[in-house]
Amino acid sequence: MATATSSINTINRVKIHEVTKITPMMIPDDDELICLPLTLFDTYWLKFLPVERLFFYEVADLTWDLFDSEILPKLKHSLSLTLGLHYLPLAGHMMWPEHAAKPAIYYFLPGQDQKEDIVNGVTVAVAESEGLDFDVLSGDGIRQAVEFRALTPQLSISDNKAEVVSIQITLFPKQGFCIGISNHHAFFDGRSTMMFIKSWAYLCKQYLDMENASSQQQQTTICLPSELIPSFDRAFINENDPKGFDLVYVNNWLSFTGNDRSLKVLPSFNDVNKLVRATYVLTRAHLKKLRDKLLLLEDRNRQTSPNKLHLSTFVLACAYVFTCMVKARGGESDRDVILAFTADYRSRLDPPVPTNYFGNCVGSHTRLVKARDFVEEPAATGLGGVAFVAHKLSEMVQEIGGGLTIQGFDEEKLVKLMAVMQRVSQGGQGLGVAGSIHFDVYGSDFGWGRPKKVEIVSIDTTGAVSLAESRHGDGGVEVGLALGKQDMDNFASFFDQGLKDLIV
C-alpha cells in the first residue's frame, strides 16, 4: 500500500515526520486507465499553476499518539482503497513521450517497461505544526498568506513528468488536523477535485463506522454511491472534437513557451510573502437585499435595458466583491480590468457529458472593462458600481447558454486568454473566480466531523477570489481573498460600508 521515507525536517513552522507513497490497494482490470489521454479541456489548462486546497478538522485534545495510531492509518488505508477501487489514474504521472503529439496520464503496471524511474502512487507528507495557530488559520480574519504554504503539499513537476495530485496531513496538537491537497490543473477541474475528496472521505468514514459497529452490524463490502464513481471515458469529448482542439491548444502552449515541451507550469503572478488572506461572508439577507435593489433599479431603467438580468447568487456575490476590489486598489481609472470565470460544460454540451465525468470540462469566459466603470455609476443608485458589474456578469452567463458544440468553439480562445494574462502582467487588474458555491466543500466528513474551514490556497498565486457555500448551511457565501495588506484594509472598509448602505 505504501512506501515511506522517514526524515524529520523543520520547514516553515511544521515538522515533516514522513513522506509516503500511497499505492492503490488493487489494480482494476481496465486497460483504458493505464494510459489516459488529455482532452481539449485538459490541454487548455496545461501550463496553469496547481490548484491547492486546505481542509481544517477540529478534534479537541488530539495528541500525536492518537493521531499516529488512529487517524493516520485510516486516512492512508482509505486513500489506498479509493485509488484502487475507482481512481487509479491519480496514482500515475503526466508524461509527454517524444513520439506523442500531446501529454497523457500514465500508470505503469508492475514489470511494465519504463524509460524512467517512476514510482506509482500518491505522495503523502505527514507533518506536525510547530507554533501555527489552528484557530487563527481556520478563522476568517486577516492572516499571513505565507503561513498557509507550510500546510500545502508540493506537486512534483519536472520537465519530463508531473504528479497529478499530492497530499499533506498536518497535526495541530490539542486542536485538530489539516488535509492539504494539490492537484494538476490539466487533469482536474473543481468538480473532479471535490468528487475525489468526497470519495476518499466517504470510504474513510464508512471504514471507521464498520470498525465501530458490532460484528452483527458490520458490512461485508465497502463501496461508493453512484454519484461518486468517476467516469474517465474520454470518448465523450474526444469523439466530438473533429477539429482537434486538443492539439490546437498544445500548439498554442508550444508557441507561447518557445516550442518547449517541458511540463513545468507558469510562474506565480504574486509574491506570497507580501500577501495577507481573509474571508468575508455575504449572508442570505445581504444577497436578497442586493438583488432587490438591483431589480428596483432595473425596473426604473426598463426602457433602456431590454435584457432581463440574471441575478444568481454567483452574479450577486461576484458583482459586489469585484466592485470592492477595484475600489480597494484605487490607482488609474483608465486601467484594464478583466472579469473572468469558468463555467461547467458537462450539462451544457450537445451531446452532454455525464455529471460524474472526471477531468476538466469547463470553459473560461472573460470580459474587458475599465476601472472607471466601477466608480462612475450615479451615486443615487446606492450601489456604487455593483449594478454595472452585475450587468456585465449577467450578460456573460446568459451568452454561454446550452446546447454547445465543440465544433463551434473559438480556435483562438486560448490565444485570447494568453493576451488577457499579458494585460494583467502589464498592470491590468484580473478579477477571477476559484471554487464554487455548488461543490458542498463542507460535506467532506472523513469520520471526525465536517471541516471547520476550507481554504483555496492557490488564490495567492493567481489573484482570483475563492467562493464556497457558507459552512453554516444558511444560504450565505464565503469569499476568500489574498491581497497586499493595504489593499485588504481598503477592501474591508468598502465591503463593510457597502453592506451598511444596503441595509438603509
Query: CA dihedral defined by 315, 321, 322, 324, rounded to 10 degrees?
Result: 140
- The upper half-sphere exposure of residue 246, i.e. CA atoms within 13 Å in the direction of its Cβ, equals 22
pLDDT at 382: 58
> Based on the number of CB atoms within 10 Å of its own CB, is 9 exposed (0-12), middle (13-18) or buried (19 or more)?
exposed
Say whether pLDDT at 4 is over 70: no
Active site residue 185: yes
Residue 191 DSSP code: H
**Mean pLDDT along residues 433-461:** 97
3-state secondary structure of 261: coil
Say whether pLDDT at 446 is over 50: yes
**Mean pLDDT along residues 475-499:** 97
The continuous run of DSSP H or E covering 413 comes out as: helix 413-425
- The lowest-confidence range among 59-63, 176-180, 422-426 is 422-426
Q: Decide the pairing of beta strands 429-431 and 336-344.
A: parallel
Nine-digit cell string for 42: 485538459
- The upper half-sphere exposure of residue 9, i.e. CA atoms within 13 Å in the direction of its Cβ, equals 9
Beta bridge partners of 77: none
Domains and CATH numbers, the chain: 2-256 (3.30.559.10), 272-503 (3.30.559.10)
Say whether pLDDT at 363 is over 90: yes
Nearest Cα residue to 452 out of 139, 56, 54:
56
- 112 falls in which pLDDT band (50, 70, 90)? low
Active site residue 445: yes
Beta bridge partners of 337: 369, 429
Say whether pLDDT at 3 is over 60: no
Distance CA 456, CA 284 (A): 22
pLDDT at 378: 53
- The lowest-confidence range among 122-131, 264-273, 363-372, 479-488 is 264-273
The continuous run of DSSP H or E covering 491 comes out as: helix 485-503
Nine-digit cell string for 407: 465544433
Nearest Cα residue to 368 out of 395, 346, 406:
395
pLDDT at 10: 39
3-state secondary structure of 182: strand
Strand locations in 108-174 (E): 122-129, 143-144, 161-163, 165-172
Cα 478 to the chain's mean position, in Å?
14
pLDDT at 504: 63
Say whether pLDDT at 2 is over 90: no
Q: 193-198: long-range contacts (C-beta < 8 A, 24 or more apart)?
A: 193/51, 193/53, 194/439, 194/440, 194/441, 194/444, 195/228, 195/230, 195/356, 195/358, 196/82, 196/87, 196/90, 196/165, 196/230, 196/358, 197/53, 197/55, 197/444, 198/228, 198/440, 198/443, 198/444
CA angle (499, 366, 316) in 5-degree steps: 20
Catalytic residue among 185, 189, 241, 246: 185
Segment 300-315, tens digit of pLDDT? 776 445 568 899 999 9
pLDDT at 254: 94
SS (H, E, C) 274-336: HEEEEEEEECHHHHHHHHHHHHHHHHHCHHHCCCCCCCCHHHHHHHHHHHHHHHHHCCCCCCE
pLDDT at 26: 87
- 230 falls in which pLDDT band (50, 70, 90)? very high
pLDDT at 385: 86
Q: Decide the pairing of beta strands 51-58 and 2-11.
A: unpaired
Query: CA dihedral defined by 408, 412, 415, 420, rounded to 10 degrees?
Result: -80
Please report the DSSP string for 427-463 in residue order. Answer: T-EEE-EEEETTS-GGG--SSS-S-SEEEETTHHHH-
Catalytic residue among 140, 336, 445, 487: 445
pLDDT at 5: 46
**Mean pLDDT along residues 363-377:** 89
Segment 158-200, tens digit of pLDDT? 999 999 999 999 999 999 999 999 999 999 999 999 999 999 9
